[in-house]
Amino acid sequence: MKFFKTNARLDQLQPSSILAFDAAISEIPDIIKLTLGEPDFNTPEHVKAAGKASITNNESHYTDSSGKLVLRVAAADFLHNKYHATYNPTNQIIVTVGATGAIYSTITALTNPNDEVIIPIPIFPLYIPITLLNGAKPVFVDTTNDGFKLTPSRLQATLLAHPQAKMLILNYPTNPTGVTYTREELTALVEPLRNKPIVVLSDEIYSELSYDQNHVSLGEILPEQTILVTGLSKSHAMTGWRIGFAAGPADLIQKIAMISQFTVTSATTNAQDAAIEALTSGADDGLIMQAEYVKRRDYLIKRLTQMGIAVIKPTGAFYIFMQIPTQFGTDSFAFGHRLAIEAHLGLVPGGAFPAGEGYMRLSYAASMTNLINAMDRLERFMQAHV
Ligand SMILES: Cc1ncc(COP(=O)(O)O)c(C=O)c1O
């Protein structure tokens, strides 16, 4: 179709460089890949059983496009009990196809062409193509020199320079850096936003994987201006079931629900039934995995520090964003390929994330055996190139 013109906004976008890099190194024999952004655990048995029962019971029909009410009730209870965020399940929460569905519908429903969207970086890249597809404009704030956190003064300065900004995107615990915010930090951070016509899309998908401190939700701190995005992919090792949520003020959720309805009709019915089980009987399933991730994190931080590699200790999610040792320069893709070819170790180049050049993302959603072997390989590689 030589003369056929596709959506011009797509011309600004590139396919995911994380997936491309992962595919390129996957052929290397015996490679250990710490590249994956999904739990290595299986979905808990009782949750799988609920999904199977749903199929057996012929739950094979569309649901309400906002999701089964009983699931929205379970999600509201979960958010209330865990994070003191209070939502009315009838009009303040919708079920989406993964957190991705919530992010897509939120940005699409709440922005107009040329609206500015403030995005602290490095961050999970998905928000950027969705912003661009809507004709809105990302305004990046580099947090590298602030310990990868957006500070109130940087936010204030950005708001002054961009008074028309419509949305702020926050993701914490943060992919790819693993940092998160304390209650005090969040309270100070939202101060410049209060009572301004600006909405925060707060992607808290890793909330159950917070270490050393309890997760504090913007759904508690700034409910009237927050769309809380979450889901079961990380907390319950359910990436493939594709269940997420968007929660917030009823008038905004009504618009977000329209986009979700027009794009996917409703989330898969059997996955919704499994999700009800996950959020009720399995409300604390994530804590068992969390304990395992903490052990892995502590082990990795110890080994990396012994090797003299600079890292900020993550307090959530399952990533470490480590600086490339100076003798290897700062080109993360070049370093990533070299590490894969010479040491048979796969890490995601930081350059796959905005402002991430000079770093590598290491995912510890991998078995302890693989992590030990990975650190041994990295150590040998470093010793071979002093
Ligand atoms: C910060 C963040 N948000 C959202 C997602 C996507 O979640 P889901 O699989 O539920 O769509 C991911 C996946 O890696 C993520 O890291």
Q: Cα(108) to centroid of ligand 1, in Å?
A: 17
**CATH H-level superfamily of 8-43+285-384:** Aspartate Aminotransferase, domain 1 (3.90.1150.10)
Q: Residues 335-365: pLDDT tens digits?
A: 999 999 999 999 999 999 999 999 999 999 9
- For 47-279, the fitting CATH number among 3.30.300.30, 3.40.640.10, 1.10.760.10, 3.40.50.300 is 3.40.640.10
Comparing 27-41, 49-63, 140-154, the range with the smallest average pLDDT is 27-41
Task: Answer yes or no: is the C-beta of 177 below 6 A from any ligand 1 atom.
Answer: no
Sketch the domain layout of the chain as residue ranges. 8-43+285-384, 47-279
pLDDT at residue number 14: 87
For ligand 1, atom 13, the nearest C-alpha belongs to 37
Which tokens go with 241?
Answer: 């079931």
Tell which one of 40, 127, 174, 175 to mutate to probe ligand 1, the residue whose CB is within 8 A of the most ligand atoms: 175
Q: Rounded to 10 degrees, what is the CA torsion of 261, 234, 317, 182? A: 60
Q: Cα(104) to centroid of ligand 1, in Å?
A: 11
State the pLDDT confidence band at 54, using cuts at 50, 70 and 90.
very high
Task: Answer yes or no: is the C-beta of 323 below 6 A from any ligand 1 atom.
Answer: no
Task: Answer yes or no: is the C-beta of 144 below 6 A from any ligand 1 atom.
Answer: no
Task: Answer yes or no: is the C-beta of 231 below 6 A from any ligand 1 atom.
Answer: yes
Statement: residue 227 has pLDDT above 90? yes
Statement: residue 1 has pLDDT above 80? no
**Mean pLDDT over the full length of the chain:** 96
Q: What are phi and psi of 136, to 5 degrees?
A: -85, 170
* Helix segments in the chain, DSSP class H: 17-26, 45-56, 69-83, 98-110, 127-133, 152-161, 183-190, 218-221, 250-264, 269-279, 285-306, 332-343, 368-384
State the pLDDT confidence band at 23, using cuts at 50, 70 and 90.
very high
Residue burial 212-245, b: 16+ Cβ < 10 Å; e: rest:
eeebbbbbbbbbebbbbbbbbbbbbbbbebbbbb
Task: Answer yes or no: is the C-beta of 171 below 6 A from any ligand 1 atom.
Answer: yes
Q: Provide, rounded to the nearest whole percent, the portion of the chain with pLDDT above 90.
A: 95
* 8-state DSSP, 43: P
State the pLDDT confidence band at 2, using cuts at 50, 70 and 90.
confident
Q: With contact defined as beta carbons under 8 Å apart, do 269 and 241 qualify?
A: no
Q: With contact defined as beta carbons under 8 Å apart, do 186 and 161 qualify?
A: no
How many CB atoms lie under 10 A from the CB of residue 107? 28
Task: Answer yes or no: is the C-beta of 233 below 6 A from any ligand 1 atom.
Answer: yes
Q: What is the arithmetic mean of pLDDT over 27-32?
A: 94
Task: Answer yes or no: is the C-beta of 370 below 6 A from any ligand 1 atom.
Answer: no
SS3 readout for 301-355: HHHHHHCCCCECCCCECCEEEEECCHHHCCCHHHHHHHHHHHHCEECEEHHHCCC
Q: What are phi and psi of 355, to 5 degrees?
A: 65, 15
Q: State the angle between helix axes of 285-306 and 368-384 in degrees (0 to 180), rounded to the nearest 10.
A: 20
User: Among the atoms of ligand 1, which is closest to the Cα of residue 317?
Assistant: 16
For ligand 1, atom 7, the nearest C-alpha belongs to 99
| Whole-Å CA distances, 156 to 23, 169, 217, 326 | 41, 15, 21, 34
Q: What is the arithmetic mean of pLDDT over 303-327?
A: 95
Task: Answer yes or no: is the C-beta of 237 below 6 A from any ligand 1 atom.
Answer: no
Q: Residues 181-219: pLDDT tens digits?
A: 999 999 999 999 999 999 999 999 999 999 999 999 999
State the pLDDT confidence band at 41, using cuts at 50, 70 and 90.
very high
pLDDT at residue number 17: 87
Tell which one of 106, 169, 233, 263 to mutate to probe ligand 1, the residue whose CB is within 8 A of the most ligand atoms: 233
pLDDT at residue number 299: 98
User: Among the atoms of ligand 1, which is closest to the Cα of residue 37?
Assistant: 14
Q: What are phi and psi of 201, to 5 degrees?
A: -90, 110
Q: Residues 155-185: pLDDT tens digits?
A: 999 999 999 999 999 999 999 999 999 999 9
